[in-house]
Amino acid sequence: NAGVTQTPKFQVLKTGQSMTLQCAQDMNHEYMSWYRQDPGMGLRLIHYSVGAGITDQGEVPNGYNVSRSTTEDFPLRLLSAAPSQTSVYFCASSYSFSNYGYTFGSGTRLTVV
């Protein structure tokens, strides 16, 4: 099993550019989420999904869009990148959103210049 796969691992964007961070899992997990990690801030929830076709906002959703057309995939879109979005992004999935524990991807390190 591959677990949670994130692509790309590294990306440099110019301010105003758009891009999509990809996340795929092969564990048939219903719950998927996106976090950003910044130094001294821990992980903050951006968006999450409890199943195909169902998404909702987390703590820091501004500037990001998501959709969930299949159980396996949960892409994160940056519509117009800003330097404040420079961060490490983690995708996670879980069988149950509450008590099962998440499986994390290896992260995407994004720099916006």
Partner 1 sequence: AQSVTQLGSHVSVSEGALVLLRCNYSSSVPPYLFWYVQYPNQGLQLLLKYTTGATLVKGINGFEAEFKKSETSFHLTKPSAHMSDAAEYFCAVSDRGGGGSQGNLIFGKGTKLSVKP
Q: Which residues of the chain form contacts with partner 1 (CB under 8 A)? A: 4, 33, 35, 40-45, 48, 50, 56, 58, 90, 92, 97-99, 101-107
Phi-psi region of 97 (alpha: psi -120 to 50; beta: other; left: phi over 0): alpha
- When the beta carbons of 62 and 99 are compared against partner 1, the nearer one is 99
Q: Give the nearer residue to partner 1 in terms of CB position, either 44 or 77.
A: 44
Contact 53, 70 (CB under 8 A): no
Residue placing its CB nearer to partner 1 in the complex, 28 or 42? 42
Tell me the closest approach of the beta carbon of residue 6 to partner 1, in angstroms.
8
Q: How far is the CB of 92 from partner 1 (least distance, A)?
A: 8
Q: Which residues in 29-52 are b (16+ Cβ under 10 Å) and which e?
A: bbbbbbbbeeeeeebebbbbbeeb
Locate 81 and state its tokens.
């990148």
